[in-house]
Amino acid sequence: TASGPISVTTWNFAEANRTAGELLSKGASALDAVEQGVRVEESNIKNQTVGKGGAPDRDGNVTLDACIMAPNGNFGSVCFLENIEHPVSVARKVMEETPHNMLVGEGAYQFAIKQGFEPVNLLTPESEANWKKWLEEKEYRPIINIENHDTIGMLCLDEKGDIAGACTTSGLAYKMRGRVGDSPIIGSGLFIDNEVGGAVATGLGEEILKNVSTFLIVELMRSGKSPQEACEIAMDRIIKKNPDYKNFQVAFIALNKKGEVGSFCIHPGFTYLKYKNSENTELKSKTYL
Ligand code: SD4
C-alpha cells in the first residue's frame, strides 16, 4: 500500500496495538495481526471488559463475545462463550474450519474444546469482588463511566494493502445472562470491506446494534466520505434516534484503504492508538458533547 502498514485500536491498549503493528512491519497479514493484537487484551486480567478478568453478568458468569473479519469478506464470530480465554481465535476457527460464521454459547464452547482450546476460569478475584459489591445494590443501568467501555476493536492494513479487523469483549458489566451486544455482530461492532476500509465500535451495544453503525460507516466511506466524516454521520443517526444520548457512550474508529483514520464519540474521554512507522501514537477522539 502507498501508506504502508498501519494498525489502529480503541482505547490505550498500547501493547496490543504495538504487537499488531510490529507484526505488520515484519510482513504479517492484516488478519494475523488483528488476531494476535487483540489476544494481548484477552489475556490482560487488569482489563475488566475483555477476556480473562472481564466483569461477569449479574449472576456471576463471565460470557464473552468476539468476531474477526478478513479481507475476502469472510468472518467468524462467537457469542455468549464461557471459560475460554481467546474468543477471537475461536471466532477465526469458526471462519476457517466450519461451514458457518457464528457459534454461540454451549455449541461455541464445545467447538472450542474440540479445536484444542483449554477450559479456564475467567472470573478473577478482583472482578468477583467488584461483582459482589455490585450485588449489594443490584442496581443496573448502563454506566456512562468511560472506563467501563474498554472493549478492544482493532483495524489493520497490511503491506499488501489488505484490511482486516477484530473486536472482543466481555460486554457490559452485570448484563442479563445471555445478553449479546454489538461486538460480535458484523456490521455493528465491526465491519470490513477490502475495497473501502473498516470500522469498529465500542460503547453501549444496544444503540450500536439499532443503527448497524460500522456497516454504515464503511458505506459512507464508499460513497466518498472521509473516515472522520463517516464516523460523525453515523453518530448523528444514533443521537437523533435517542434523546437520552447524554446518558450513554458510543465511540467509533474508522480506517480507509489510503491509511486515513477518523474517530468520533459522544462523551469526552475516548482515545485510540495508531501504530505506523514504528510509532504508537495515542490520539484523542473528536466528541459530540
Ligand atoms: C457491548 N460494546 O457489549 C460492548 C461494550 C463495550 O467496553 O464496548 N464495553 O455492548
> From the candidates 63, 151, 168, 214, which is the catalytic residue?
151
Grid cell listed for 59: 449472576
With a pLDDT cut of 70, the percent of the chain lying above it is 97
- Report the alpha-carbon distance of residue 184 to residue 30 in Å, rounded: 18
Residue 224 is assigned to a ligand binding site = no
HSE-CB for 226 with a 13 A CA cutoff: 8
Q: Of 254, 185, 189, 192, which is closest to residue 29 (Cα–Cα)?
A: 192
What is the separation of C-alpha 159 from the centre of its chain, rounded to a whole number of angstroms? 23
User: Which of 64, 81, 183, 208 for mutating ligand 1's site (highest number of atoms within 8 Å of CB)?
Assistant: 183
The tens digit of pLDDT for each residue in 193-234 reads 999 999 999 999 999 999 999 999 999 999 999 999 999 999
Give the residues surrounding ligand 1 with Cβ less than 6 Å away.
Answer: 49, 149-151, 169, 171-172, 181-183, 202-205
Catalytic, 151? Answer: yes
* Summary mean pLDDT of the chain: 95
The tens digit of pLDDT for each residue in 239-266 reads 999 999 999 999 999 999 999 999 999 9
Torsion angle (degrees, nearest 10) of CA 38, 43, 47, 50: 60
Residue 281 is assigned to a ligand binding site = no
Across-strand partners of 281?
274
Distance 275 CA to ligand 1 centre (A): 23
- pLDDT score of 145 more than 90: no
- Report the alpha-carbon distance of residue 219 to residue 213 in Å, rounded: 10
User: Which of 154, 179, 204, 206 for mutating ligand 1's site (highest number of atoms within 8 Å of CB)?
Assistant: 204
Report the amino acid identity of residue 10: T
Across-strand partners of 265?
251, 287
Distance 58 CA to ligand 1 centre (A): 15
Written as one string, the DSSP assignment of 16-45 is HHHHHHHHHHTT--HHHHHHHHHHHHHH-T
Neighbours of 273 (CB within 10 A): 23
When pLDDT is cut at 50, 70 and 90, the band that residue 2 belongs to is low
Q: Of 249, 62, 284, 79, which is closest to residue 167 (Cα–Cα)?
A: 79
Distance 110 CA to ligand 1 centre (A): 25
Q: Of 200, 262, 273, which is closest to residue 226 (Cα–Cα)?
A: 262
Distance 33 CA to ligand 1 centre (A): 22
Would you state the pLDDT for residue 149?
57
The tens digit of pLDDT for each residue in 33-50 reads 999 999 999 999 888 889
Residue 202 is assigned to a ligand binding site = yes
The tens digit of pLDDT for each residue in 175-185 reads 999 999 999 99
Atom 7, ligand 1: residue with shortest CA distance: 149
With contact defined as beta carbons under 8 Å apart, do 181 and 77 qualify? no
Report the amino acid identity of residue 282: E
Q: What is the mean pLDDT of residues 120-142?
A: 90
